[in-house]
Structure 1
Amino acid sequence: MFPRCKWFIWYGRKITILLLAPEFDMNMAFGGTDTRACNLLLIVLSLYHEWCEVQKKTSLFNLQVEISGLIPGLVSTFMLLSSSDNHGRKLPMVLSSLGSLATNVWLCVLSYLGLPLQLLIASTFVGALFGNYTTFWGACFAYIVDQCKEYKQKIIRIAVLDFMLGVVTGLTGLSSGYFIRELGFVWSYFIIAAVLIVNLTYISFFLSDPIKESSSQMVTMSCRESLKDLFYRTYLLFKNGSGKRQSLLCLLIFTIVIYFFVIIGISPIFTLYELGSPLCWDEVYIGYGTALGSVSFLISFLGIWLFSYCLEDIHIAFIGILTTMLGMTLAAFARTTLMMLLVRIPFFFTMMPFSVLRSMLSKVVHSTEQGEFALKARTAVSQLQPVRSMPAASEPPTGVSAGLSFEGEA
């Protein structure tokens, strides 16, 4: 499928014209004499339109799944991360891990019994009630900030956290294609569930929590009073402090939300583009691309470690944003497997703005408000995330990625 598809796509100017304009008269193009060429061209057009339809349906289904978990995810994230400032960071970690475990067990059952994919929407809704990856990641970030006293140490530890995420992402991306090919979806989801059980056990019994409940915090409050307290502390996050601090806080949150939106949004667009023509990648090539992209976590960690000695934080963030823009622009013109793999190189500094901007934010926010800050940054990203699946259903993926790069810089 892979070499044949590429041969058809690049076979002459006439075939390219017909791919761009399917209503073009094939008898006129070939003079009505080459019947075999016309038959081959019909096959090419059929495959091309089938891929376009698969891309559209995949994007719309992803949008439906994400919207189903948006509202419960926002509510659970707000409740858990806000309360973690007083009751500890372990609770949101444990509950979000339980939600992920339940979702993966349900995926395993769906794959084993061959149930309709629409049931994924229900599982996403139920799993989001316990919190999602946004809840877990926000709690991890707040946990790291609680442990650090010096600003330089805070930057390095956040970069290490991003680096570890990249290592795990790269290993799973490199091996996922082989796991699916050799073991199938059932055993793949079972392995993920087993890893989540180990992670849940470690968080519950071995991870220490730096925030301890005082006797004043343990006073029983009604549900209504608890909600009022959560909203009031969120309001105080912006009320306390000078006007300069409020402006800086809003500007940093806006910047990191837009950058998160761009980086997270291009991931499914890249996958859809790699699956379609002219690349026609299979699951192994997709894994290679994901693993190569995950090298950015290592390079970004080394970049932060080196640049922090000679550059300001804002300059490090600019380097990451500008190189990401360059990578997205080059991806819009990649038409071969080699070029698509080389396009990943400009993305090597993509993760630097994440660590630097979050460290700058944590310096502005008081130590007792880290859960509220993580809540604002992560829930804002969750609100924008479902939008990323909408353009891929109607626009060419590479054009969307190039446009997102300039939107993120603006």
Structure 2
Amino acid sequence: MKILFIEPAICLSVFVVTLTSPLTTQYVYRRIWQETGNYSIEPDSNISECAKNKSSPIFAFQEEVQKKVSLFNLQMDISGLIPSLLSTFILLSHSDQRGRKFPLIVSSVGALANSAWLCLLSYFAFPIHLLIASTFIGALCGNYTTFLGASFAYIIDQCKEKKQRTIRIAVIDFLLGIITGLTGLSSGYFIRELGFVWSFLIITMAVTVNLIYILFFLEDSMKESSSQNVSVSFTEGLKNPFYRTYMLFKNTSGEQRSMLCLLLFTMIAYFFVVIGISPIFMLYELDSPLCWDEVLIGYGSGLGSVSFFSSFLGIWLFSYCMEDIHMAGIGIFTTMVGMAMTAFAKTTLMMFLVRLPLFFVIVPLSVLRSMMSKVVRSTEQGTLFACLAFLETLGGVTAVSTFSGIYAATVAWYKGFVFLLSAVLLLIPTISLSIVKCVSRNAGSYVLLIQEESNEDTSER
């Protein structure tokens, strides 16, 4: 008997992504370090190979490694951009008619192929640039954004009370925070105690278990809609998602369309900064003057993941005394403060304290998703999340590429510049959110649609 319970699949997927990211970054860092010069990093060494003295010969060497790692990450992100955009958009758009399980399965297959290749790459020490090719192939099946977009659409299918969507999405973010925090804390010990090969093998096994659960135990939330599908040609299959996206904006009134566009822009502008700066934190911590080892990086990642839990508490408490838009504003402002503080963090204690103002970094993402889901009808949720996932994929890859390039260009003269830039860029979603507030004060458009759907449902009964 199948069940309508997607949380286990989400948790396993987050475990995989959270563990894969630091392991891949540090594996690439060590491979490039060893291939760049004669300095070597012992696999079981507890000593961080990092020089704090600028007069040391290894200092210039590690600066060169930092640049090469940033540029390699840039190449990986660009290689997966186009296939990720197309697969994410098409898979999620079709989920409105063909069900939510298909994008979940396809993206999980891609994750399985990627993790298996990482395992082989680390075991046989294949050329590191083959990782770029595997990124391209894996992106053809979608990515984590595809999986998460389908998961949110799956959850909203089950949310009959639209007023509870904000809390329900926050609960999911809370669960993500627990998994992310525990995985982040343990990531350093995975490398130190098991090494890269066994760690990547554990990731592969986790993806396999997740795929089995989705295939054989998870019930599709849109079973009735999927059963009504008719066969279409390949060309029509490609046209339909774009047509549904066009109709998503055309079918709404002018005020609702303005609200939806503003919310999308605010979401992506904030997402651009948060996602783009995330990989830089690890490179910043590996370099002088911090010179963190893998365990300290795990601690920092775990502490940063507390933001999921604190964001959930913030949404749960603030929802009783303020509107969604005010919660999003608080999250953006505190994130801005955290980015500015990071630019001047020179000690381990200061770098840990930086996480405090970042405790509400997830709040804007959860709240804005909920607000957007209220602008469109229940039959358009898949198309909405397809559009959002498409923009998140495009914005995420562009952001990581942009921030990696900026960091590579500025690391030699001021490592904290990229964090100051991110704080300034957060003024853009702040201004956009202010415009959303003005529009909603005059029209309250996303609330009007809820009332219209309620009236339609009542009349049908």
* Equivalent position of 1:398 in the other structure: 416
* Equivalent position of 1:204 in the other structure: 215
Q: Where do residues 233-382 of structure 1 align in structure 2 (5 Å cutoff)?
A: 233-382=244-393
Q: CA deviation at 1:2?
A: 5.4
What amino acid is the match of 2:420?
Answer: A
Q: Where do residues 152-231 of structure 1 align in structure 2 (5 Å cutoff)?
A: 152-214=163-225, 217-231=228-242
What amino acid is the match of 1:219?
Answer: V
Q: Relative to structure 1, is the Cα distance of residues 217 and 277 closer, same or farther in structure 2, using a 3 angstrom cutoff?
A: same
Q: CA deviation at 1:376?
A: 1.6
In structure 2, C-alpha distance between the alignment counterparts of 1:216 and 1:358, rounded to whole Å: 28
Q: Deviations over 1:360-404 (max 9, x none)?
A: 000001111111111121211221223322212112442112211
In structure 1, C-alpha distance between the alignment counterparts of 2:203 and 2:237, rounded to whole Å: 35
Contact 1:68 1:124 in 2 (8 A): yes
Q: SS of 1:390's equivalent?
A: helix
* Equivalent position of 1:407 in the other structure: 425
Q: CA deviation at 1:4?
A: 8.4
Q: CA deviation at 1:205?
A: 1.5
Contact 1:269 1:398 in 2 (8 A): no
Task: Name which of structure 1's ranges 102-111 and 160-169 shifts more when overlaid on structure 2.
Answer: 160-169
In structure 2, C-alpha distance between the alignment counterparts of 1:213 and 1:109, rounded to whole Å: 41
Contact 1:76 1:131 in 2 (8 A): yes
Q: Percent sequence identity over matched residues?
A: 62
Q: CA deviation at 1:79?
A: 1.2
In structure 1, C-alpha distance between the alignment counterparts of 2:283 and 2:49, rounded to whole Å: 18
What amino acid is the match of 1:128?
Answer: A
Contact 1:2 1:279 in 2 (8 A): no
TM-score (norm. length: structure 1): 0.88
What amino acid is the match of 1:103?
Answer: N
In structure 1, C-alpha distance between the alignment counterparts of 2:225 and 2:49, rounded to whole Å: 66
* Equivalent position of 1:33 in the other structure: none
Q: CA deviation at 1:353?
A: 0.8
In structure 1, C-alpha distance between the alignment counterparts of 2:304 and 2:145, rounded to whole Å: 21
Q: Relative to structure 1, is the Cα distance of residues 5 and 228 closer, same or farther in structure 2, using a 3 angstrom cutoff?
A: closer
In structure 2, C-alpha distance between the alignment counterparts of 1:248 and 1:148, rounded to whole Å: 22
In structure 2, C-alpha distance between the alignment counterparts of 1:88 and 1:282, rounded to whole Å: 44
1:108 to 105, 119, 126: 119
* Equivalent position of 1:16 in the other structure: none
In structure 1, C-alpha distance between the alignment counterparts of 2:120 and 2:114, rounded to whole Å: 10
Q: SS of 1:349's equivalent?
A: coil
What amino acid is the match of 1:342?
Answer: L
In structure 1, C-alpha distance between the alignment counterparts of 2:378 and 2:327, rounded to whole Å: 24
Contact 1:321 1:353 in 2 (8 A): yes
Q: CA deviation at 1:183?
A: 0.9
Which structure has the larger Rg? 1
Q: CA deviation at 1:129?
A: 1.1
Q: CA deviation at 1:153?
A: 1.7
In structure 2, C-alpha distance between the alignment counterparts of 1:208 and 1:249, rounded to whole Å: 31
Contact 1:334 1:340 in 2 (8 A): yes
Q: Relative to structure 1, is the Cα distance of residues 3 and 79 closer, same or farther in structure 2, using a 3 angstrom cutoff?
A: closer
Contact 1:84 1:92 in 2 (8 A): yes
Query: Structure 1 runs of 4+ off > 6 angstroms?
Result: none
Q: Deviations over 1:324-376 (max 9, x none)?
A: 00100111111100000011111011111111110000000111111111112
In structure 1, C-alpha distance between the alignment counterparts of 2:168 and 2:72, rounded to whole Å: 37
In structure 2, C-alpha distance between the alignment counterparts of 1:377 and 1:118, rounded to whole Å: 31
In structure 1, C-alpha distance between the alignment counterparts of 2:256 and 2:230, rounded to whole Å: 33
Q: Relative to structure 1, is the Cα distance of residues 226 and 3 closer, same or farther in structure 2, using a 3 angstrom cutoff?
A: closer
In structure 2, C-alpha distance between the alignment counterparts of 1:374 and 1:127, rounded to whole Å: 21
* Equivalent position of 1:38 in the other structure: none
In structure 1, C-alpha distance between the alignment counterparts of 2:66 and 2:284, rounded to whole Å: 9
- CA RMSD, Structure 1 to Structure 2 (Å): 1.6
Q: SS of 1:364's equivalent?
A: coil
- Number of corresponding residues: 375
TM-score (norm. length: structure 2): 0.79
1:81 to 89, 92, 117: 92
What amino acid is the match of 1:403?
Answer: L
In structure 2, C-alpha distance between the alignment counterparts of 1:332 and 1:52, rounded to whole Å: 18
Gaps of 5+ in 2: 1-46, 429-461
What amino acid is the match of 2:281?
Answer: F
